[in-house]
Amino acid sequence: MTTDGAGEQGRLRAELHRVTEAHERLERLHRLTVSLAEVTTRARLADLVIDTVMPALGGDGIALIELTASREAILLAAEGIGGDALAALAQQHVGQGAHWSTSADSVIGAPAQLHGYVATPLIIDGTEIGVVAIGYALLPPTTAVFRGLVEDVARQLALALERAASYERLDHERERAEHASRAKDEFLAMLGHELRNPLAPILTAIELMRLRGEKTLDRERTVIERQVRYMIRLVDDLLDISRVTRGKIELRRQAIEISQVVAQAVELVSPAMEDRAHLLSIEVPKAGVVVHADPQRLAQVLANLLTNAAKYTPHGGRISLTVHAGEGEVSIAVRDSGIGIDAQLLPHVFELFVQGRQGIDRANGGLGLGLAIAHTLVELHGGTIHAHSEGTGKGAEFTVKLPRYANTRPSKPHMSGPLTVAGPGLEVLVVDDNEDAAFLFSEALKRLGHRVIVAHDGPSALELVRNAPPQIAFLDIGLPVMDGYELGRRLKEGATGTRIPKLVAVTGYGHSSDRERSRDAGFDLHLVKPIDLATVLDAIGKLDIR
């Protein structure tokens, strides 16, 4: 073979080696890229650096550090020969650019097996966010292909580190937001509980006065009752808006005549209408107009619209509620002769805390939640709600449109009877640590013909009924010493023969999770304070106690 031929073969072999090495570099880079692209945490990145990056670069040791915004170095990974020494090397090369060394002797504590290393920065948009150092028992490769591979890996590591940091930051922010949301929900639930507790005995006292037939304080009693029910409504709005913002409103749908819903809404707002001497006209088809809805929630929508109309209509105004039934739709319009809605405010009337113009005396009151709640409830029913006003001083009209239910046979509503007891009275246990509430509630039950035992904590209640278990027990959940759940369990466990008491939870907590918890604890009913006597009688009737 001639000298020229041998030279050509050598050149071809070198070219083949270069191409093969470049191909292997691409393969390794591809595998690394795929692995690093799935990284969402620093811990996972550290594992990949040790398990994948180090062998891909032929290293015998590796260290990865992250640089914070204040240039503080944080060690994320250190493994293999001289891991700790490589971590120190990485910190030494912060801000120094890429470095290829054939000696680690200058590093205190470097093992004898470490003969060389490569340190290269991790850079994003011109900012150094970390350094990776790879150690070698032999000298590190110095070919252009290998140097290119190290640079490519460093770029992928930088992207992965930035992504992991972003994911963890988002996770942390989400956890903080969820914690804040839970704290807010717990606060509102506690607030509702604490506000409802004093309202309960006030409402019961009013009803007890009525049962006793005391006429001398009719006007004062009416004022107290109206204000208490207004406070109850504010509390309910506060708790409802918490559920609205979290999408936690739950509907209990049934086929219901729209006329029944309207009647319930009108009953709710009658005191406000009478107080302001408004003329309220109702126009509803007599029968056959059925919607598939939650009766309580839909009545709440209409009551909110009527209350809003009453608030923003001067004394002695005109308010109308009109129902039109179409082919597949029911339209409900609430119109008033009030102060109207400014054009700039109109697009925002269904937003939280938005209210019409008020004087410094805030004569109209309220929290600015009613329309926002109504909007959400209508949408949950698959309907729409719109506001219209010609402008200031020209009144306003709110129109709700709902799908009409094809089945014209509505569910039969449960009607509460008069405040009397059908049949003999029952043996009743009332347990509440609020002594005023317990006393007045028991007095009201006695006036209705029941025989009542009162206790203010769990152990006392168990002692009082040890030899004579009650037929029904109204238990406050937040009791001292022993909570209502535990007391209910012990009452049922201690029952003998066929008399197992029916349990009714009486509490200021009314969320669905609270109802579910009381049901799981063996309670038959869950009532939310303050409860009126009609609700109590209705509950006793549902329990069918014999």
pLDDT digits (tens, 9 = 90+) for 362-420: 344 455 678 988 998 999 999 999 999 998 899 999 999 999 987 655 555 444 444 45
Domain boundary among 171, 203, 233: 171
Contact 81, 59 (CB under 8 A): no
Same domain, 386 and 487: no
Number of domains in the chain: 3
What CATH number should be reported for the domain holding residue 485? 3.40.50.2300
Domain that holds residue 81: 15-171
Residue 159 covered by a domain: yes
- Helices and strands (H, E) in the chain, number of each type: 14, 17
410 found inside a domain? no
* 472 in any annotated domain: yes
Inter-residue contact 330 to 284 (CB < 8 Å): no
Tens of pLDDT along 476-528? 998 888 999 999 999 988 876 667 899 999 987 777 788 889 999 999 999 98
Are residues 392 and 475 located together in one domain of the fold? Answer: no
Tens of pLDDT along 108-155?
556 667 788 899 999 999 999 999 999 888 878 877 878 888 888 899
Based on the domain organization, do 379 and 285 belong to the same domain?
yes
Give per-residue pLDDT as tens, 268-298: 888 788 888 899 999 998 778 999 998 888 9
Whether residues 19 and 55 share a domain: the answer is yes
441 and 366 part of one domain: no
> Do 28 and 161 lie in a common domain?
yes
Confidence check: pLDDT of 300 > 60: yes
Closest CA to 426 of 490, 484, 458, 473: 473
Q: Domain end: 153, 171, 189, which one?
A: 171
Cβ(91)–Cβ(82) below 8 Å:
no
- On the CB side of 166, CA atoms within 13 Å amount to 7
Q: Do residue 54 and residue 160 come from a single domain?
A: yes
On whether residue 239 sits in a domain, the answer given is no
Assigned domain for 133 exists: yes
Residue 30 and residue 159 share a domain: yes
- The CA–CA distances, whole Å, from 283 to 127, 189, 256, 272, 310 equal 71, 38, 17, 19, 18
Q: Check whether residue 363 and residue 438 sit in a common domain.
A: no
What is the predicted pLDDT for the residue at 468? 83
Tell me the three state secondary structure of residue 409: coil
Among candidate residues 171, 195, 229, the one where a domain is terminated:
171
What does the pLDDT look like over 301-316, one tens digit per residue? 999 999 999 999 999 9
Q: Given this model, what pLDDT does residue 274 score? A: 85
156 CB-side CA count, 13 A: 23
| Of 415, 337, 410, 334, the residue nearest 370 (C-alpha) | 334
Among 25-29, 353-357, 440-444, 487-491, the minimum mean pLDDT is found in 353-357
- What does the pLDDT read at residue 217? 65
Q: How much is the pLDDT for 132?
A: 93
Q: Give Dmax over CA atoms of the chain in angstroms.
A: 132
CA 506 to chain centre: 24
- DSSP-based three-state secondary structure for 219: helix
For the record, the structure tokens of 53 come out as: 């990056």
The proportion of the chain whose per-residue pLDDT surpasses 90, expressed as a percent, equals: 34
| 411 occurs within a structural domain | no
d(CA 263, CA 281): 12
Residues 277 and 387 placed together within one structural domain of the fold: yes
- pLDDT tens-digit series, residues 190-200: 666 666 767 77
Task: Give the C-alpha distances (Å, rounded to integers) separating 6 from 1, 10, 13, 443, 528.
Answer: 7, 6, 11, 116, 98
Predicted structure pTM score: 0.47
Is 433 in contact with 197 (CB distance < 8 Å)? no
Residues 6+ apart with CB under 8 A from 338: 309, 312, 313, 314, 317, 395, 396
Q: What's 89's domain CATH number?
A: 3.30.450.40
Q: Is residue 74 assigned to a domain?
A: yes
End-to-end CA distance of the chain: 116
Q: Is the pLDDT of residue 219 over 70?
A: no
- For residues 228-256, give the mean pLDDT: 74
Distance CA 268, CA 489 (A): 37
Q: Are residues 396 and 434 in the same domain?
A: no
Q: What is the pLDDT of residue 360?
A: 32
Identify the DSSP state of 322.
E
389 and 502 both lie in a single domain: no
Rounded to an integer, the average pLDDT of 163-168 is 92
pLDDT score at 287: 76
Confidence of residue 322 (pLDDT cuts 50, 70, 90): very high
Domain of 273: which CATH number? Answer: 3.30.565.10
Whether the upstream peptide bond of residue 198 has omega within 30° of 0, thus cis, is no
400-403 long-range contacts (CB < 8 A, ≥24 apart) are 400/301, 400/302, 400/305, 400/331, 400/332, 400/333, 400/374, 401/329, 401/330, 401/331, 401/332, 402/291, 402/293, 402/298, 402/329, 402/330, 402/332, 402/378, 403/291, 403/292, 403/328, 403/329, 403/330
Q: Is residue 399 part of a domain?
A: yes
* Beta strands in 364-515, from DSSP E residues, in sequence order: 384-388, 396-403, 427-431, 451-455, 472-476, 502-507
User: What is the structure's pLDDT at 103?
Assistant: 62
Q: Quote the radius of gyration of the chain (alpha carbons, Å).
A: 37
Round the average pLDDT of the chain to a whole number and report it. 81
